[in-house]
Amino acid sequence: MDSEPMPGTGAGSASIVETEPDPTPIVLILAATLRRAEETPKLASMMAKATGNVALKSTVDPQAATIRFQRGRVLVERGVAPDTHVTIATDVNRMSELDAPKPKITGAATHLRLALTAGKVLEPPLGPWQAEAARFWSTLASHPRSPAGLRVVCLDEHTECSFGITPAEYEIHGTAHRLRSMFSGGTVFGEELLAGNLFGVGSLAHTAELTGCSLAFMMGR
Protein backbone atom coordinates (compact mmCIF):
# COMPACT_ATOMS: atom_id res chain seq x y z
CA MET A 1 0.00 0.00 0.00
CA ASP A 2 1.18 3.49 -0.79
CA SER A 3 2.10 5.78 2.06
CA GLU A 4 1.02 9.40 2.04
CA PRO A 5 -0.49 11.92 4.45
CA MET A 6 -3.96 10.91 5.49
CA PRO A 7 -6.53 12.74 3.35
CA GLY A 8 -9.28 14.65 5.04
CA THR A 9 -11.35 15.25 1.94
CA GLY A 10 -14.65 13.50 1.88
CA ALA A 11 -15.30 13.72 5.61
CA GLY A 12 -18.95 14.38 6.23
CA SER A 13 -20.00 13.25 2.77
CA ALA A 14 -22.51 10.43 2.47
CA SER A 15 -20.91 7.14 1.51
CA ILE A 16 -22.05 5.41 -1.66
CA VAL A 17 -20.91 2.06 -0.23
CA GLU A 18 -23.61 -0.27 1.10
CA THR A 19 -23.64 -3.85 2.32
CA GLU A 20 -26.11 -6.68 2.13
CA PRO A 21 -28.39 -7.25 5.16
CA ASP A 22 -26.66 -9.26 7.91
CA PRO A 23 -23.22 -8.96 6.27
CA THR A 24 -20.43 -11.48 6.81
CA PRO A 25 -17.05 -10.35 8.20
CA ILE A 26 -15.37 -10.19 4.79
CA VAL A 27 -18.24 -8.05 3.49
CA LEU A 28 -17.79 -5.62 6.39
CA ILE A 29 -14.02 -5.53 5.92
CA LEU A 30 -14.30 -4.79 2.20
CA ALA A 31 -16.95 -2.13 2.79
CA ALA A 32 -14.70 -0.45 5.38
CA THR A 33 -11.81 -0.51 2.90
CA LEU A 34 -13.96 1.05 0.16
CA ARG A 35 -15.25 3.74 2.51
CA ARG A 36 -11.68 4.60 3.33
CA ALA A 37 -10.96 4.86 -0.39
CA GLU A 38 -13.78 7.41 -0.61
CA GLU A 39 -11.68 9.75 1.54
CA THR A 40 -9.33 10.20 -1.42
CA PRO A 41 -11.15 12.33 -4.05
CA LYS A 42 -9.55 10.58 -7.04
CA LEU A 43 -10.54 7.14 -5.76
CA ALA A 44 -14.03 8.35 -4.79
CA SER A 45 -14.51 9.61 -8.35
CA MET A 46 -13.31 6.29 -9.80
CA MET A 47 -15.75 4.37 -7.63
CA ALA A 48 -18.66 6.63 -8.50
CA LYS A 49 -18.08 6.20 -12.24
CA ALA A 50 -17.40 2.45 -12.22
CA THR A 51 -19.79 -0.23 -13.46
CA GLY A 52 -19.43 -3.98 -13.17
CA ASN A 53 -19.00 -6.69 -10.57
CA VAL A 54 -15.73 -7.69 -8.91
CA ALA A 55 -15.35 -10.74 -6.68
CA LEU A 56 -12.64 -11.21 -4.06
CA LYS A 57 -12.11 -14.89 -3.27
CA SER A 58 -9.81 -16.42 -0.67
CA THR A 59 -7.44 -19.13 -1.84
CA VAL A 60 -7.07 -20.63 1.64
CA ASP A 61 -10.61 -20.71 3.06
CA PRO A 62 -14.27 -20.18 1.98
CA GLN A 63 -14.26 -16.37 2.39
CA ALA A 64 -15.56 -14.55 -0.66
CA ALA A 65 -17.47 -11.39 -1.51
CA THR A 66 -18.67 -9.53 -4.58
CA ILE A 67 -18.47 -5.78 -5.06
CA ARG A 68 -21.13 -4.37 -7.39
CA PHE A 69 -20.13 -1.01 -8.88
CA GLN A 70 -23.36 0.59 -10.11
CA ARG A 71 -22.41 4.13 -11.18
CA GLY A 72 -22.87 6.10 -8.00
CA ARG A 73 -23.70 3.13 -5.76
CA VAL A 74 -21.45 0.32 -4.53
CA LEU A 75 -22.95 -2.80 -2.98
CA VAL A 76 -20.87 -5.44 -1.21
CA GLU A 77 -22.42 -8.88 -0.75
CA ARG A 78 -21.24 -12.36 0.23
CA GLY A 79 -19.98 -15.01 -2.16
CA VAL A 80 -18.88 -14.96 -5.78
CA ALA A 81 -21.86 -13.78 -7.82
CA PRO A 82 -22.63 -15.66 -11.06
CA ASP A 83 -22.55 -12.36 -13.00
CA THR A 84 -19.06 -11.43 -11.79
CA HIS A 85 -16.87 -9.77 -14.44
CA VAL A 86 -13.52 -9.77 -12.63
CA THR A 87 -12.38 -12.24 -9.97
CA ILE A 88 -9.44 -11.62 -7.64
CA ALA A 89 -8.19 -14.79 -5.93
CA THR A 90 -5.70 -14.30 -3.10
CA ASP A 91 -4.80 -15.27 0.45
CA VAL A 92 -7.05 -12.70 2.13
CA ASN A 93 -5.40 -13.34 5.49
CA ARG A 94 -2.06 -12.07 4.17
CA MET A 95 -3.16 -9.06 2.14
CA SER A 96 -1.55 -6.64 4.59
CA GLU A 97 1.81 -8.46 4.60
CA LEU A 98 4.87 -6.91 2.98
CA ASP A 99 5.47 -10.21 1.17
CA ALA A 100 1.80 -10.89 0.38
CA PRO A 101 1.38 -13.41 -2.46
CA LYS A 102 0.48 -11.91 -5.81
CA PRO A 103 -3.27 -12.30 -6.50
CA LYS A 104 -4.57 -14.19 -9.49
CA ILE A 105 -6.96 -12.02 -11.51
CA THR A 106 -9.35 -13.38 -14.10
CA GLY A 107 -11.50 -11.26 -16.40
CA ALA A 108 -9.08 -8.32 -16.56
CA ALA A 109 -8.41 -8.80 -20.27
CA THR A 110 -12.02 -8.03 -21.15
CA HIS A 111 -12.76 -5.63 -18.29
CA LEU A 112 -9.46 -3.81 -17.87
CA ARG A 113 -10.87 -0.51 -16.57
CA LEU A 114 -12.96 -2.30 -13.96
CA ALA A 115 -9.98 -4.40 -12.84
CA LEU A 116 -7.76 -1.31 -12.55
CA THR A 117 -10.42 0.53 -10.54
CA ALA A 118 -10.82 -2.40 -8.17
CA GLY A 119 -7.08 -2.67 -7.70
CA LYS A 120 -6.84 1.01 -6.75
CA VAL A 121 -9.83 1.25 -4.39
CA LEU A 122 -9.01 -1.98 -2.58
CA GLU A 123 -5.64 -0.50 -1.59
CA PRO A 124 -6.49 3.03 -0.38
CA PRO A 125 -3.53 5.17 0.70
CA LEU A 126 -2.52 5.09 4.33
CA GLY A 127 -0.80 7.70 6.42
CA PRO A 128 2.41 7.13 8.41
CA TRP A 129 2.01 4.91 11.43
CA GLN A 130 1.78 7.92 13.77
CA ALA A 131 -1.21 9.30 11.89
CA GLU A 132 -2.89 5.91 11.82
CA ALA A 133 -2.27 5.52 15.56
CA ALA A 134 -3.88 8.92 16.20
CA ARG A 135 -6.90 7.88 14.15
CA PHE A 136 -7.16 4.61 16.05
CA TRP A 137 -6.82 6.37 19.41
CA SER A 138 -9.69 8.73 18.58
CA THR A 139 -11.93 5.65 18.50
CA LEU A 140 -10.25 3.73 21.31
CA ALA A 141 -10.36 6.64 23.78
CA SER A 142 -14.17 6.64 23.71
CA HIS A 143 -14.33 3.06 25.02
CA PRO A 144 -14.80 3.07 28.82
CA ARG A 145 -12.53 0.07 29.45
CA SER A 146 -9.66 1.33 27.30
CA PRO A 147 -6.32 2.37 28.80
CA ALA A 148 -6.28 6.04 29.78
CA GLY A 149 -2.92 6.42 28.10
CA LEU A 150 -1.17 4.63 25.22
CA ARG A 151 2.52 4.69 24.29
CA VAL A 152 3.53 3.37 20.88
CA VAL A 153 7.16 2.53 20.13
CA CYS A 154 8.43 1.94 16.58
CA LEU A 155 11.31 -0.51 16.76
CA ASP A 156 12.84 -0.01 13.31
CA GLU A 157 12.49 3.76 13.12
CA HIS A 158 13.44 4.33 16.79
CA THR A 159 10.55 6.74 17.25
CA GLU A 160 7.52 6.81 19.51
CA CYS A 161 4.36 8.74 20.29
CA SER A 162 1.93 8.85 23.20
CA PHE A 163 -1.80 9.45 23.59
CA GLY A 164 -3.87 10.24 26.67
CA ILE A 165 -2.35 10.40 30.12
CA THR A 166 1.32 9.81 30.90
CA PRO A 167 2.86 7.61 32.04
CA ALA A 168 0.83 5.41 29.74
CA GLU A 169 -1.18 2.48 31.11
CA TYR A 170 -0.39 0.41 28.01
CA GLU A 171 2.42 0.18 25.47
CA ILE A 172 2.57 -1.29 21.97
CA HIS A 173 5.93 -2.02 20.32
CA GLY A 174 6.48 -3.06 16.70
CA THR A 175 7.89 -2.14 13.31
CA ALA A 176 6.47 0.76 11.32
CA HIS A 177 4.75 -1.61 8.89
CA ARG A 178 3.15 -3.73 11.61
CA LEU A 179 2.01 -0.69 13.58
CA ARG A 180 0.54 1.03 10.53
CA SER A 181 -1.22 -2.14 9.44
CA MET A 182 -2.86 -2.77 12.81
CA PHE A 183 -3.81 0.86 13.49
CA SER A 184 -5.37 1.19 10.02
CA GLY A 185 -7.56 -1.90 10.43
CA GLY A 186 -5.45 -4.29 8.38
CA THR A 187 -4.78 -6.73 11.24
CA VAL A 188 -6.20 -7.64 14.65
CA PHE A 189 -4.12 -6.69 17.68
CA GLY A 190 -4.51 -9.98 19.59
CA GLU A 191 -3.55 -12.04 16.55
CA GLU A 192 -0.49 -9.86 15.98
CA LEU A 193 0.54 -10.40 19.61
CA LEU A 194 0.19 -14.18 19.37
CA ALA A 195 2.18 -14.22 16.13
CA GLY A 196 4.97 -12.16 17.70
CA ASN A 197 4.52 -9.36 15.18
CA LEU A 198 3.63 -6.80 17.87
CA PHE A 199 4.43 -6.63 21.59
CA GLY A 200 2.13 -5.33 24.30
CA VAL A 201 3.02 -4.10 27.78
CA GLY A 202 0.04 -3.81 30.09
CA SER A 203 -2.92 -5.62 31.60
CA LEU A 204 -4.83 -8.50 30.06
CA ALA A 205 -8.04 -6.46 30.33
CA HIS A 206 -6.55 -3.66 28.24
CA THR A 207 -5.14 -6.19 25.78
CA ALA A 208 -8.63 -7.60 25.29
CA GLU A 209 -10.09 -4.12 24.83
CA LEU A 210 -7.45 -3.18 22.27
CA THR A 211 -8.08 -6.44 20.41
CA GLY A 212 -11.82 -5.81 20.32
CA CYS A 213 -11.32 -2.25 19.16
CA SER A 214 -8.94 -3.29 16.39
CA LEU A 215 -11.43 -5.91 15.19
CA ALA A 216 -14.23 -3.35 15.17
CA PHE A 217 -11.94 -0.90 13.37
CA MET A 218 -11.20 -3.53 10.71
CA MET A 219 -14.92 -4.02 10.09
CA GLY A 220 -15.74 -0.32 10.06
CA ARG A 221 -17.76 -0.41 13.28
- Is there a domain that residue 6 lies in? no
This prediction's pTM: 0.87
Cis before 7? omega within 30: no
- Report residue 17: phi and psi, to 5°: -90, 125
Q: Which of 88, 121, 154 is the last residue of a domain?
A: 121
- Average pLDDT across each block of 10 residues of the chain; the chain has 221 residues. List them in order: 38 81 95 95 95 95 96 95 96 81 92 95 94 93 90 97 95 97 94 96 96 91 74
What's the CATH number where 85 sits? 3.30.1050.10
- Give the span between the Cα atoms of 200 and 140, in whole angstroms: 16
Q: What angle do CA 198, 171, 36 make, to 5 degrees?
A: 65
211 CB contacts (<8 Å, ≥6 apart)? Answer: 188, 189, 190, 193
pLDDT, position 100: 77
Task: Check: CB of residue 164 under 8 Å from CB of residue 202.
Answer: no
Same-domain pairing of 85 and 112: yes
- Is there a domain that residue 103 lies in? yes
Residue (of 170, 176, 165) closest to 201 by Cα position? 170
Q: Which of 89, 105, 121 is the last residue of a domain?
A: 121
pLDDT, position 143: 83
pLDDT, position 141: 86
- Is there a domain that residue 193 lies in? yes
Same-domain pairing of 27 and 95: yes
pLDDT, position 205: 95
Domains identified in the chain, total number: 2
Domain containing 136 equals 129-218
- Is there a domain that residue 5 lies in? no
Report strand pairing: 51-58 vs 64-70: antiparallel
Q: Which of 121, 148, 174 is the last residue of a domain?
A: 121
- Is there a domain that residue 157 lies in? yes
Same-domain pairing of 59 and 97: yes
Same-domain pairing of 22 and 114: yes
Same-domain pairing of 47 and 106: yes
